[in-house]
Amino acid sequence: MRALISLRAFGLQEIDAVRYYIAMLMAEHGLVSAPNMAIGEAFHIGAPVQATVALGGISRGPTNA
C-alpha cells in the first residue's frame, strides 16, 4: 500500500499507479511481461506482430530483376 501511495505522490493517475505497482511486483518475481504491464500493452507469445511501414519507395515488393 505504501508503494501505491508513493506512486500517487509522483503525480500518477490511480490506474497508472496500480499498473506500475503490479509491474514492479511482476518484475520482482522475474516475469518477462512486467514492462508490458507497465505500459498497458498485451504480451504476445509465438510469432511477433509485424507492422508495415512505408519508407518512400522502399516498401514496394521485390522486382523481377
pTM summary value:
0.60
Residue 65 lies in a domain: no
Residue 10 lies in a domain: yes
Structural domain tally of the chain? 1
Residue 28's pLDDT is 92
Closest CA to 26 of 12, 39, 13: 39
Between helix 14-28 and helix 2-9 the angle, nearest 10°, is 130
Return the biggest CA–CA distance within the chain: 65
C-alpha–C-alpha distance, residues 1 and 16, integer Å: 14
**Range(s) of the domain holding residue 4:** 1-60
Per-residue pLDDT reduced to its tens digit, 21-33: 999 999 999 988 8
Residue 8 lies in a domain: yes
Residue 13 lies in a domain: yes
Higher pLDDT, residue 17 or 46: 17
